Structure 1
Amino acid sequence: MNRRGRVAASLRRLWRQLTSMRTALVLLLLLAVAAVPGSVLPQRSLAPEQVEAYRRDKPALAEWFDRFGLFDAYASPWFAAIYLLLFTSLIGCVLPRLGEHARALRRKPPAAPRNFRRLPAHAEVGDAPAEARPVGERLQQLMRSRRYRVVAYSEDGGHVTVAAEKGHLKETGNLLFHAALLAVLAGVAFGYGWGWSGNRILVAGPDTGFCTGLQQFDEYALGPRLGAEDLPGYCLQLERFDADFLDTGQPTTFQADVTWTAPRAARTGRQRLEVNTPLRLDGANVYLLGHGYAPILRYTDRQGRAQTSVSAFLPVDGMLTSEGAALFPDANADGTSGARSTDAQVAFSGVYVPTVPTSGPLALSAHPAERAPGLLLTAYRGDLGLDNGVPQSVYQIPRRAVDDGRLIQLPEANTLLRPGERWILDDGTSVEFLGTRRWISITVRHDPGEPVVLAAVIGIMTGLVPMLGVRRRRIWFRVLPTSSGCTITAGGLPRVDYPGFAAEFAAAVAAARGAVGAVASVRATGGPPAGTASVADGVRS
């Protein structure tokens, strides 16, 4: 064999190995294992701030994770390689079997073997006072009524053989299962390439609405085949949020009234969001994820100018004890030029307690509803460092500025404010707690592969039923003409052994005996009818 022939032979062996069912199962297992880092580690496309926090906490480990792409697991080359190999393997498995199955459906049931006694199931049906051909026709009708594929063969000497076959639906289900699995992979790939999602905390009020632009999302993930201009551009505003709780603090209902606007289509509407009732729009769905409180603080600086902040505080427990920060970068700005101060900017970190307990720690709420609200504040003054271009979280005090000494905590102890109360700081400025607004966390998602995946999952479940429940089997009847009529014998062959074939074969023999009016012959020894004995003795599973 020349070099080209050896290369071709190697490629054929490699292709057969790749398209084997064993390889497909191994690749499916590898794909499941490869998806583990995406579930365990923070992903840069979904939570970049968590990735940065992980890098700060464990820099050495994070560097190795980054080298192997574990923070972008689903977009990594190794994940894509496993995905494409599995896709190719399944195609190589399904297409040849599909052609073979199509040929098998067109193929007639095979002729009967010469000796029925060599089959796992065989029986003497009996003698019938009729000619062989009409008996063969009645047997064909019988097996068709039992949903067998039937064909009759004429043999030498006037013999008639009826061949019946059943169970091709098993391979149909098998192929449907694997084709649907391919469709799942294709749907996931389509959704990844052309899908997008974004998360946002939406505070109640007309001044805190937002539109679906990338800059306005707290977190977003955009498919590689999309650009920012491809987003539909919906605008959302929270009008009202209601939550009911039991006395134990367990939530019972969440309801959010949201107004939406589609400027491009000049459409608007209002929808009540609940946990399992999303807002479905053309090109996007809006889901309610969580809720909380946003304290309203009014700070009056040294020039007497008042500034109001509405800042969402994030819950830290089931009673909605919440932590957050309120920043006032324009506090004590130059009254003439309007330039920001570099040493008198103000920020407050706080803990909001919807129900201040009558005993115990004040910083732990006794109930998630606002029965006795209170706000614990800690004040900071200095340079917030917001103008240096470094991104930072809006839900906490700029820790880098605190660590650098540019932002200093004021010596006053934590102050508990009730709604309407004011706190006078050491320089005569003041902060007033005006109350709260409700906020909800929402996710806006568009997954064009979702209908494909749904249809594929239905196909998988549909294919599983015949694949697991149907068995291939064949039954033959041979009609031999005699001087007084004909003699009928039967044989059966299950393509895959299963316990129910013995009963099925015995029922078919009994039905054949009744259909043709056969009289079972009696052994010369006076034993039971031959058909009964041979079914009991000859059927093995």
Structure 2
Amino acid sequence: MELPHDRPAGEHRPGRNGADLMRWLYHTVVSVSRRAWRQLTSMRTALVLLFLLAVAAIPGSVLPQRNVSPEKVDTYLDAHTQWGPTLDRLSFFDVYGSPWFSAIYLLLFISLVGCLVPRFRLHFAALVKVPPKAPLRFDRLPEHTTVAESGTAEDAARIRAMLRKRRFRTAVREEGDVVEISAEKGYLKETGNLVFHFALLSLLFGVAFGSWYGWHGNRVLVEGNDFAFCNTLLNYDEHALGAQVGENDLPRFCLRLDRFNATYLDNGQPVTYKASVDVTEHGTSSEQLLQVNSPLRLDGANVSLLGHGYAPILRYTDKYGKTSDNVSPFLPSDGLLTSTGVATFPDVNINPQTGSRDQKSQIGFSGIYLPTIPADPSVNSSAFPAERDPRLMLQPYRGVLGFDAGAPLSVYTLDTRQIEAGRLTKFGDPLMLKPGQTATLPDGTKIQFVGTQQWISISVRHDPGQPIVLGGAIALLAGLLGSLSGKRRRIFFRIAPTGITAGGLPRSDYPGFAEEFRSLTHAAAPAAAVPEQVAQTEDVEEVV
């Protein structure tokens, strides 16, 4: 053996630091990759990833999400200034589009594919493979017995027909005057397992496919021709498009709310919501009925009814006698449809001679609408959701509304920054108006509560992954039932002139196997013989 110090100084073996190092590095990378792949594609890893996916989805259910309600996200960030921005940087307000959720999702998908494909190949091979040869000694099997003291070829044919009638896969092997019958049953268990896991895989694919090629948008739709809208992104209050969807991919249709009817119990609980909607699609118009849990099925989109409320109609007459109308949806704040909102008049008090206006003479109203005024109006809460005795309470403001600043503003509240800065101040005492009633403001201008129009909030959605998810859910339940009901077992019979013996082996946990084995051996005994039946299906037989 040559030791390092036996070689002359400066001598080295060719490729020792080059080819050998590359070869070692290659084998190391291959070995580590192979171990990582085996670990990733194991069923244990798939279960861990499935658990992590469920845990990762919790913030999406607890915290508001930008693709569903961006205004709630802004409200949450304003209320939690310390750790709200940290959660925002970690994508907790866009959980299902975050990199970490996508990574778990993708790893779970790869793990299931790598785990199921080899199992499917093995199961398919087991399905086409004939049952194995009977063991030499039946007494080593969990169940064994002697069926008869003698056996003939007729007994072998009768036993095989009996097993096939009970849906056993059989194989007959003859060796001299000895006939062996191997029978197997219960592949439904492994088939159910595979169907269950492939269904889970299809669910994951369906959700991913829907997020790639789906889209949705929400909008408040007020009654009347003036508020009809067509399906474009600019007409939605909020929207989200899939990664593979562009604005030009949206289907073309238009909607108009004609009427809305609601019925309530005496305690104010809603019974029915029915919206009569005019739908224009492919150049034709039709009247459709939109109800809760009964969406409109349009070509390329579904329209769902989410809620409804009231939009007060205000008419303002400025100091030059010019009138302006405003229809503003008010948001319900309780189940009795006590609603809050604002009405703004930024383009009023313009001098008709000079065409100029005082920027500080813009008018806004912060209001509370009560569909049915209670006995004590000071409680500021409606007594019933229907309009039995409506009242509109308004607080006038005058000054700079802030529309010209370029900052995004809510259509349901006045700009608090303008109020805090003193650029928008209260203008007179609070008002309470009935429908049709007019009030005069301190500068002689007038505000009239004309009445209300009803509005509905709708969700327009297209999810092409829904059929895949539905099929996967059905297959998942079917696979689960098959997995729970299937019991794989093997039965062996040896028919010889010296006797008929039998043995049984359950391949899975099957408490009732002993009883089934006794039933089969009893049916196989000559005393319980049945007329020979010829199976109509092709036999699986191997003659050795």
**Same-fold call, TM > 0.5?**
yes
Contact 2:522 2:528 (8 Å CA) reproduced: no
Q: Given the alignment of the two structures, is residue 304 of structure 1 paired with residue 339 of structure 2, yes or no?
A: no
Return the match for 1:495 from 489, 507, 515.
507
How far apart are residue 362 of structure 1 and its match? 4.7
Contact 1:139 1:516 (8 Å CA) reproduced: no
How far apart are residue 340 of structure 1 and its match? 5.3
Return the match for 1:15 from 19, 22, 37.
37
1:463-495 CA-partner distances (Å, limit 9, x unpaired): 11111111110111111213xxxx211111101
Q: Given the alignment of the two structures, is residue 53 of structure 1 paired with residue 53 of structure 2, yes or no?
A: no
How far apart are residue 497 of structure 1 and its match? 2.3
Return the match for 2:208 from 166, 169, 189.
189
How far apart are residue 360 of structure 1 and its match? 5.9
Q: Which range moved further: 499-508 or 80-89?
A: 499-508
RMSD value, Cα: 1.6
Return the match for 1:324 from 333, 341, 345.
341
CA distance in 2, matches of 1:448, 1:335: 55
CA distance in 1, matches of 2:480, 2:495: 38
In structure 2, what is the equivalent of residue 275 of structure 1? 292
Contact 1:139 1:512 (8 Å CA) reproduced: yes
CA distance in 1, matches of 2:250, 2:527: 69
1:512-535 CA-partner distances (Å, limit 9, x unpaired): 1257649xxxxxxxxxxxxxxxxx
Tell me the number of residue pairs that the alignment of Structure 1 and Structure 2 aligns.
508
Contact 2:523 2:529 (8 Å CA) reproduced: no
CA distance in 2, matches of 1:337, 1:33: 65
Q: Given the alignment of the two structures, is residue 437 of structure 1 paired with residue 459 of structure 2, yes or no?
A: no
The within-5 A match list for 1:346-357 is: 346-357=363-374
Return the match for 1:119 from 96, 120, 141.
141
CA distance in 2, matches of 1:57, 1:180: 42
Return the match for 2:265 from 241, 246, 252.
246
1:362-393 CA-partner distances (Å, limit 9, x unpaired): 51111111111111111111111112211111
How far apart are residue 3 of structure 1 and its match? 2.8
Contact 2:219 2:238 (8 Å CA) reproduced: yes
Q: Given the alignment of the two structures, is residue 82 of structure 1 paired with residue 82 of structure 2, yes or no?
A: no
Specify whether residues 340 and 222 from structure 1 end up closer, same or farther in structure 2 by C-alpha distance, changes over 3 A only.
Answer: farther
Contact 1:330 1:341 (8 Å CA) reproduced: no
1:434-458 CA-partner distances (Å, limit 9, x unpaired): 1111111110000011111111111
SS across alignment from 1:110 = coil
Q: Given the alignment of the two structures, is residue 480 of structure 1 paired with residue 496 of structure 2, yes or no?
A: yes
In structure 2, what is the equivalent of residue 212 of structure 1? 231
* Amino acid in structure 2 at the alignment position of 1:235: C
CA distance in 2, matches of 1:311, 1:281: 28
1:54-105 CA-partner distances (Å, limit 9, x unpaired): 2222223122112211122111111111111000000001100111111101
Q: Which range moved further: 377-386 or 394-403?
A: 394-403
CA distance in 2, matches of 1:338, 1:72: 47
Return the match for 2:420 from 400, 403, 407.
403
Contact 1:142 1:515 (8 Å CA) reproduced: no
Q: Which range moved further: 357-366 or 313-322?
A: 357-366
SS across alignment from 2:360 = coil
Q: Given the alignment of the two structures, is residue 201 of structure 1 paired with residue 183 of structure 2, yes or no?
A: no
Q: Percent identity?
A: 53
* Amino acid in structure 1 at the alignment position of 2:228: G
Specify whether residues 180 and 340 from structure 1 end up closer, same or farther in structure 2 by C-alpha distance, changes over 3 A only.
Answer: farther
How far apart are residue 399 of structure 1 and its match? 1.7
**Segments of 4+ moved more than 6 angstroms:** none
In structure 2, what is the equivalent of residue 153 of structure 1? 173
CA distance in 1, matches of 2:98, 2:422: 40
Specify whether residues 25 and 365 from structure 1 end up closer, same or farther in structure 2 by C-alpha distance, changes over 3 A only.
Answer: same
Task: Point out where structure 1 has 5 or more consecutive residues left out of the alignment.
Answer: 519-541
In structure 2, what is the equivalent of residue 34 of structure 1? 56
In structure 2, what is the equivalent of residue 510 of structure 1? 522
In structure 2, what is the equivalent of residue 107 of structure 1? 129
TM-score when normalising by structure 1: 0.91
How far apart are residue 339 of structure 1 and its match? 5.0
Contact 2:399 2:424 (8 Å CA) reproduced: yes
Contact 2:437 2:448 (8 Å CA) reproduced: yes
CA distance in 1, matches of 2:453, 2:206: 41
Contact 2:343 2:365 (8 Å CA) reproduced: yes
Specify whether residues 83 and 515 from structure 1 end up closer, same or farther in structure 2 by C-alpha distance, changes over 3 A only.
Answer: farther
CA distance in 2, matches of 1:88, 1:106: 28
Q: Which range moved further: 334-343 or 85-94?
A: 334-343
Q: Given the alignment of the two structures, is residue 229 of structure 1 paired with residue 248 of structure 2, yes or no?
A: yes
Contact 1:341 1:383 (8 Å CA) reproduced: no
CA distance in 2, matches of 1:338, 1:174: 78
Contact 2:275 2:289 (8 Å CA) reproduced: yes
How far apart are residue 509 of structure 1 and its match? 1.3
Contact 1:273 1:279 (8 Å CA) reproduced: yes
SS across alignment from 2:173 = strand
